[in-house]
Structure 1
């Protein structure tokens, strides 16, 4: 299974959709469209995006242990 990391290239905001697209083998544009469409439904989509932005490490970056 591929590691979920936010790529340095192809980001628009935080790189979350690009990371998920790499993981699931689809284009980043498709993932972004799915996210925008999901925002039409009730739910915590923006909170989930922010949580994933925090949880997914940046590509090539180091994470420090708390």
Structure 2
């Protein structure tokens, strides 16, 4: 097999399939639109997570 063919045959992990299912189920754009007005922005002393990353991490932990 060539390297290109081998790269295309990646094994689908449980984590990968779970995250793919979550992406299909959740409407992230709508959720982010609701959260965005209340989400803090970066300050000089502390960087915040991006809104999309924070929403995904929070939802997966629920």
| Structure of larger gyration radius | 2
Shared topology, TM-score over 0.5?
Answer: no
Bigger RCO (CA 8 Å, 6+ sep): 1
The alignment's TM-score, normalised by the length of structure 2, stands at 0.29
The alignment's TM-score, normalised by the length of structure 1, stands at 0.28
